[in-house]
Amino acid sequence: MFHVVEHPLIKHKLTIMRSKTTGPKEFRELLREITFLLAYEATRNIETLEIEVETPLEKTKGYAIEDKKMVVVPILRAGLGMVDSILELMPNASVGHIGIYRDPETLRPVQYYCKLPKIDDKSVVFLLDPMLATGFSALHSVDILKERGARNIVVVCLIAAPEGVQVIENHHPDVAIYAASLDRQLNDHGYILPGLGDAGDRLYRTK
């Protein structure tokens, strides 16, 4: 269920994001652009309904997605940088927020906020976090989403570490993961190598 979305545009844009000289404005724009491209693949299996549409010439068969069933859940705070792209594609999606920080000693997730819309077994939930590092925040979030009734969860991230992918695959083999890159490993502080540093700090210039 783990997919690296291979595309020259994604590779090019991600390389610019990785560079330590890229500033916050460009970093934010590139995150939006790559998320847009990732979303194209991450939504590939959503259902379409057959509908009738009338062109200026005649009636024909058309298709509609039920974007009201779509739920977008960024993990605060870096996931916020990915929300707008998904909403541009599916403007009627609902948005929930899960606030989690990593305890710097244990690297375990500490939840400080959770506000979710109605979720049921028909919902398609896109969980957004640019960095799937230890996987603990994503794991905690998937646990919450499943407790609320989600049965179809797609994790969308920019960079995944093998450790993070493994954690999700071990606990939730049904959850799909879409990433722009699978990087080498984590360092001792739980940062992805080579990675791009702290995505939240780079988005919001907090360091």
23-51 b/e (C-beta count within 10 Å ≥ 16 → b): eeeebbebbbebbbbbbebbbeebeeeee
Binding mask 47-86 for ligand URA (x = CB under 6 A): -------------------------------x--------
Binding mask 145-184 for ligand URA (x = CB under 6 A): ----------------------------------------
Q: For the window 124-143, what string marks contact with ligand URA as x by the rule CB under 6 A?
A: -------x-x----------
Does 30 participate in binding ligand URA (rule CB under 6 A)? no
C-beta pairs of 109-118 under 8 Å, 24+ apart in sequence: 109/136, 109/137, 109/139, 109/140, 111/140, 111/144, 113/76, 114/144, 116/71, 116/73, 116/144, 116/145, 116/148, 117/71, 118/94
Closest C-alpha to 155, from 108, 164, 203 = 164
Residues 181-200 that bind ligand URA (CB under 6 A): 190-192, 195, 198-200
When computed from its CA atoms, the radius of gyration of the chain, rounded to whole angstroms, is 17
Residue 73 vs 100, nearer CB to ligand URA: 100
Return the number of the residue (72 or 78) whose C-beta is nearest ligand URA: 78
Return the number of the residue (138 or 153) whose C-beta is nearest ligand URA. Answer: 138
CB 129 within 8 A of CB 109: no
98 contacts ligand URA (rule: CB under 6 A): no
Q: DSSP string covering 114-173, please?
A: EE-----TT-EEEEE-SEESSSHHHHHHHHHHHHTT--EEEEEEEEE-HHHHHHHHHH-T
By beta-carbon proximity to ligand URA, the closer residue of 119 and 132 is 132
32 vs 151, which CB is nearer to ligand URA?
32
How many residues belong to the site for ligand URA (CB under 6 A)? 10
Does 101 bind ligand URA (CB under 6 A)? Our answer is: no
Site for ligand URA, rule CB under 6 A? 78, 131, 133, 190-192, 195, 198-200
